[in-house]
């Protein structure tokens, strides 16, 4: 059985930089060269195979097996969860139920600071746990745009709101995969993750309010923000 050498070059930092090249190329293809996701992905995978062969010395059979495992993991459960989440979202939009959700949240308060807390932080965290993988950011940003927020601002706020909830995404897939890859106990990892993330989770609503309205917003929405953070 082939065992991976994490430092084939003899300099750990250089081996790490070499290993991260496919990811950097993928991001460059998307952001700088404006390629389609599938094109950027194919280029990154091809480069990753070359780096796996040399300098990491991974056998072709192991590369094929790892690739097949990656495809199967991407299809089940990741792609399955995303497809079902998008299907459910489109179903609620087509049936008019999504308008009910939007009007219910908007009806609580016309204050944009409160709306962001309820939609991007609260509702977004629920969507992250149910779907993940960018779905809550897209849906919450769309909701905020319909309530009068600018598209870029809505996306930015939803991204910030999602910073802590991402660890719980897609019915706990990040934690489950992390436990499998790291060879640690799932319950122990979940417990440690909760301890680490609580401070960040508590701080996120305050950060959102400060981004929207600075110190004045912090003062004026303090009771609401504290309540949301504690819950």
> pLDDT per residue over 122-142, tens digit each?
888 888 887 777 788 888 888
The pair of structure tokens assigned to 221 is 């929405």
CA distances from 207 to 45, 110, 140, 222 (A): 37, 20, 17, 12
192 and 118 part of one domain: yes
Please tell me whether residues 159 and 95 are part of one structural domain: yes
- Boundaries of domain holding 106: 76-230
- For residues 155 and 150, give the distance between their C-alpha atoms in angstroms, rounded to a whole number: 9
Q: Domain for residue 202, yes or no?
A: yes
What's the N-to-C CA distance of the chain in angstroms? Answer: 49
Give the residue, 203 or 194, on which the prediction is more confident: 203
Q: pLDDT for 25-61, tens place per residue?
A: 999 999 899 999 899 999 999 999 999 999 999 999 9
- 97 & 164 share domain: yes
Quote the number of domains for the chain.
2
* Residue corresponding to tokens 């059985």: 1
Exposed, middle or buried, 140 (CB in 10 Å: 0-12/13-18/19+)? buried
Is residue 80 domain-shared with residue 141, that is, in the same domain?
yes
| Cβ atoms within 10 Å of 87's Cβ, excluding its own | 10
pTM of the complete model: 0.69
């Amino acid at each position: 059985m082939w065992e991976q050498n994490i430092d084939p070059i003899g300099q750990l930092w250089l081996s790490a930089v070499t290993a991260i090249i496919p990811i950097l190329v993928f991001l460059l293809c998307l952001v700088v060269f404006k390629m389609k996701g599938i094109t950027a992905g194919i280029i990154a995978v091809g480069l990753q195979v070359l780096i796996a062969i040399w300098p990491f010395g991974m056998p072709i059979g192991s590369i094929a097996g790892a690739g097949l495992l990656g495809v199967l993991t991407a299809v089940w459960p990741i792609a399955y969860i995303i497809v079902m989440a998008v299907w459910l979202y489109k179903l609620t939009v087509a049936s008019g139920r999504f308008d009910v959700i939007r009007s219910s949240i908007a009806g609580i308060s016309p204050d944009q600071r409160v709306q962001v807390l309820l939609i991007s932080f609260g509702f977004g965290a629920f969507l992250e746990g149910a779907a993940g993988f960018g779905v809550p950011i897209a849906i919450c940003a769309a909701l905020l745009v319909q309530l009068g927020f600018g598209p870029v601002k809505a996306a930015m706020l939803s991204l910030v709101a999602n910073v802590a909830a991402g660890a719980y995404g897609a019915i706990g897939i990040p934690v489950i995969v992390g436990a499998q890859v790291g060879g640690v106990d799932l319950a122990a990892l979940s417990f440690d993750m909760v301890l680490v993330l609580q401070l960040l989770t508590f701080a996120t609503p305050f950060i959102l309010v400060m981004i929207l309205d600075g110190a004045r917003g912090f003062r004026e929405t303090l009771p609401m923000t504290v309540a949301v953070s504690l819950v």
